[in-house]
Structure 1
Amino acid sequence: MFSYRHAFHAGNHADVLKHTVLVAMLQHLLQKDTALTVFDTHAGAGLYRLDGDYAETSGEAANGFMRLVKELENGTPATSTEAPATKGSAAGKVKTPAKPTLDDLAPALKAYLEMVASFNNKGSHKVYPGSPFIIQRLLGDRDKLKLFEIHPTDIKTLAANIAQLEAGRQVAVLREDGFEGIKKFLPPPARRALVFCDPSYEIKNDYLRVVAMVADSLTRFATGTYAVWYPIIPRPEAHDVPRKLKTLATKAGRSWLNATLTVKNSKLLSDEAGDVKRPGLPASGMFIINPPHTLKAALQLALPQLVAVLGQDQHATFSVDAGG
Structure 2
Amino acid sequence: MLSYIHAYHAGNHADIIKHAALSLVIEALKKKDKPFTIIDTHAGSGIYRIDDERLRKTNEFVAGAIADAGIPEIKSYADTARKYAESGEYPGSPALESELMRDCDELILSELHPRAIEELRAAAERFPHKPRIHFRDGYETAIALTPPKTKRGICVIDPSYEDAGDFEKCAETIVKIRKRWPAGIIALWYPLVAHRIMEISMMKERIRAASQKGEPDILDVQLEMRSPAEMTGLASLYGSGMFIVNFPYTIDEKISAAMPKIAETLSARSWSVDTL
TM > 0.5: yes
1:267 paired to 2:229: yes
Structure 1 counterpart of 2:78: 113
Q: Specify whether residues 280 and 59 from structure 1 end up closer, same or farther in structure 2 by C-alpha distance, changes over 3 A only.
A: farther
Question: Which residue type is aligned with residue 160 of structure 2?
Answer: S
| 1:200-238 alpha-carbon deviations (Å, 9 max, x no partner) | 101321110100000001111111001101011111212
Structure 2 counterpart of 1:153: 115
Structure 2 counterpart of 1:19: 19
Structure 1, unaligned stretches of length 5 or more?
A: 73-101, 270-275
Measured after TM superposition, the shift of residue 318 of structure 1 is 0.8
Aligned positions, number: 273
2:135 pairs with one of 155, 175, 182: 175
| 1:246-305 alpha-carbon deviations (Å, 9 max, x no partner) | 222267866111111111122247xxxxxx977942111101111111211111111111
Distance, in Å, in 2 between the alignment partners of 1:289 and 1:150 is 25
In the alignment, is the contact (CA less than 8 A) between 1:258 and 1:288 conserved in 2? yes
Question: Which residue type is aligned with residue 108 of structure 1?
Answer: E
Structure 1 counterpart of 2:29: 29
Distance, in Å, in 1 between the alignment partners of 2:168 and 2:234 is 25
User: Runs of 4 or more off by more than 3 Å in structure 1?
Assistant: 66-69, 164-167, 250-254, 276-280
Question: Which residue type is aligned with residue 299 of structure 1?
Answer: I
Q: Specify whether residues 242 and 192 from structure 1 end up closer, same or farther in structure 2 by C-alpha distance, changes over 3 A only.
A: same
In the alignment, is the contact (CA less than 8 A) between 1:215 and 1:248 conserved in 2? yes
In the alignment, is the contact (CA less than 8 A) between 1:254 and 1:289 conserved in 2? no
| 1:42-65 alpha-carbon deviations (Å, 9 max, x no partner) | 00000111222111110011xx32
In the alignment, is the contact (CA less than 8 A) between 1:268 and 1:278 conserved in 2? no
User: Which protein is bigger by CA-based radius of gyration?
Assistant: 1
Match of 2:109, SS state, is strand
Distance, in Å, in 2 between the alignment partners of 1:164 and 1:189 is 26
Distance, in Å, in 1 between the alignment partners of 2:267 and 2:24 is 22
Distance, in Å, in 1 between the alignment partners of 2:103 and 2:165 is 37
Structure 2 counterpart of 1:54: 54
Question: Which residue type is aligned with residue 81 of structure 2?
Answer: V
Query: Percent identity, aligned pairs only?
Result: 32
Distance, in Å, in 2 between the alignment partners of 1:58 and 1:261 is 19
In the alignment, is the contact (CA less than 8 A) between 1:232 and 1:239 conserved in 2? no
Question: Which residue type is aligned with residue 284 of structure 1?
Answer: S
Q: What is the TM-score with the length of structure 2 in the denominator?
A: 0.91
Structure 2 counterpart of 1:187: 147
Q: Specify whether residues 107 and 150 from structure 1 end up closer, same or farther in structure 2 by C-alpha distance, changes over 3 A only.
A: same
Measured after TM superposition, the shift of residue 67 of structure 1 is 4.3
Structure 1 counterpart of 2:10: 10
Distance, in Å, in 1 between the alignment partners of 2:155 and 2:145 is 11
Structure 2 counterpart of 1:131: 93
The equivalences for 1:225-304 within 5 A come to 225-234=185-194, 235=196, 236-249=198-211, 255-268=217-230, 280-304=236-260
Q: Specify whether residues 252 and 200 from structure 1 end up closer, same or farther in structure 2 by C-alpha distance, changes over 3 A only.
A: farther
Question: Which residue type is aligned with residue 206 of structure 1?
Answer: D
Distance, in Å, in 2 between the alignment partners of 1:301 and 1:49 is 30
Question: Which residue type is aligned with residue 55 of structure 1?
Answer: L
Structure 2 counterpart of 1:310: 266
Distance, in Å, in 2 between the alignment partners of 1:279 and 1:146 is 30
| 1:140-170 alpha-carbon deviations (Å, 9 max, x no partner) | 1111111000001101110111123374xx5
